[in-house]
Structure 1
């Protein structure tokens, strides 16, 4: 449940922690902070930790259940955040969304991870090498975590842009086939991506506006930079979604035109078949009549009847052929 727990004092990591309550007391006396990282804790596993740090129950429930939208909530001196790191699987053209809940207070920061994400581990590795961000205390952990998350958004935006360009080339470059399924699937992934990015803009605004305790004035410019990057990602997502909508409509229009072209060609073929069938019906009908083998048929004994019948058949077939040609059936 607890991936790592350490005490940070004076710009560096002091030692690992086994007794979180004692570590919190030490952090308060030494002017440092405790960083506890958890991975998909259960209610029972989180209960002791929530009690030791007096975490608000509503925030604890959200951190355990996951599947929350990005947000920032204040509970007195405790700030609770939810962010959604993402990564793009290019081979499958899907966006994998994980979740990171953060509790921020004066002397501790608690991160709760759900899903696959290397953000907490990467930030902790940087802190192991004495980064200047440690001077900002827990706010530095929050900043660097959000910075990596939003940088991941921009990477996914670039990957989606490459796929959108490829789809455009296929649709408008003359490639045959129905691309609607791929376009719709990518639009669905973009929608999921938007749910991770757009709601985060307002919490970032609050962070650099000074609406969050324990985020000092010297740390706010960092959050302003993240806010700008998040806005850029949100704008790019909106543009990609609109472009995919237009490409989908164009693809459906091309499919519809192709289907109409096929239908017209089939109608022409059916007219030709019907015309030749009508021409063939004349000799068939006449031959059928004379093939009934009745004795009392006066035409059977006519001297030139055979030639007359052949002439009638030929005249009828030629007349029908000319009629159909004039009506563009042949």
Structure 2
């Protein structure tokens, strides 16, 4: 879809509305340059633009594909293709939306192909139209306006990611377990954002080389490059911080798991004590539950039954008490190294003779 198509000459726009493609191509021969803006065009529409403006087929294919990294490509006819990644933070979903802008830059025309909702360029066009001294430098001024808007849009994304990371960081370092999935998601977003920002340094640096940009635009491009350096450093720091937060969250999870294991061990210990207490009773019940003639015939009254039951109950309890006391007084086994030998004695520990 064609959003706008305008002819610029002598630092100002030559008409109010958008002009047809054929007329725009004809005006390219009259001096100045034409800026054609498109949003998610179809294959047929791009083929028509390619035919009218004589674009390279590989450049058109690149404009239709979605790239993970910005890049710049120079073609034999002098046309340069610059691909930029855009970003915008969605407050409702707390996610980063990305887009892409393909810029076909030639002496007499500029064609921008936008992909994704986070690639608005109306602000860049209107801001440039208010700067006639920059418009007079030619089509390269549009690239500055686009780069300036794209890089400026990175700052709010960095600020929102900092806010999200700060919330996760405060949760983790307070000793509370944070959702690991959220940390992974933030790190993935920071990594994708880094892929959009870091390669753009080379693209902007290439435009700063002698002879590639009019001298009037060089201070403005250097300003864009400085802002981009700052964003790149902040995004790289965010990735490192998220790695640290993830490791700290894993440590907190381990501590909580150890606490759960200790509580389970204490519960099992109490259950074992209860089972141990009832073990002699089970022995007595099982013993008197036998239907042997000797056992039945020798219990002639309540006194014999009480004597045998008390003795049968006290003897296992006494044996259990003596065994547990022996285990408590028993020294712990000596630690050994990997070869089965005991470790050397530490300071203040006498060597065995």
Tell me the alpha carbon deviations over residues 45-82 of structure 1, each in whole angstroms, 9 at most, x when there is no partner.
Answer: 11222122221211111012233531111124211100
Distance 1:210 1:40, change over 3 A: farther
2:328 is the alignment partner of 1:301: no
In structure 1, which of residues 241, 244, 253 is the aligned counterpart of residue 242 of structure 2?
Answer: 244
**Contact 2:38 / 2:113 at 8 angstroms: preserved in 1?**
yes
Distance 1:247 1:21, change over 3 A: same
Cα RMSD over matched residues?
2.3
Distance in 1 (alpha carbons) for counterparts of 2:182 and 2:49: 46
In structure 2, which of residues 210, 223, 231 is the aligned counterpart of residue 233 of structure 1?
Answer: 231
**Contact 1:119 / 1:149 at 8 angstroms: preserved in 2?**
no
Partner of 1:286: 284
TM-score, with normalisation over the residues of structure 2? 0.84
Distance in 1 (alpha carbons) for counterparts of 2:251 and 2:325: 33
Partner of 2:273: 275
Deviation at 1:288, TM superposition (A): 2.0
Number of residue pairs aligned between Structure 1 and Structure 2: 324
Distance 1:152 1:167, change over 3 A: same
Is 225-234 or 294-303 further displaced after alignment?
294-303
SS in 2 for 1:192: helix
Deviation at 1:224, TM superposition (A): 1.4
TM-score, with normalisation over the residues of structure 1? 0.89
SS in 2 for 1:98: strand
Deviation at 1:291, TM superposition (A): 2.6
Distance in 2 (alpha carbons) for counterparts of 1:5 and 1:321: 96
Higher relative contact order (CA closer than 8 Å, sequence separation 6+) = 1
Tell me the alpha carbon deviations over residues 224-281 of structure 1, each in whole angstroms, 9 at most, x when there is no partner.
Answer: 1111211221111111111101110110111012112211221222122122202201
Deviation at 1:25, TM superposition (A): 3.6
Q: Which runs of 5+ in 2 are unaligned?
A: 329-353
Deviation at 1:322, TM superposition (A): 7.3
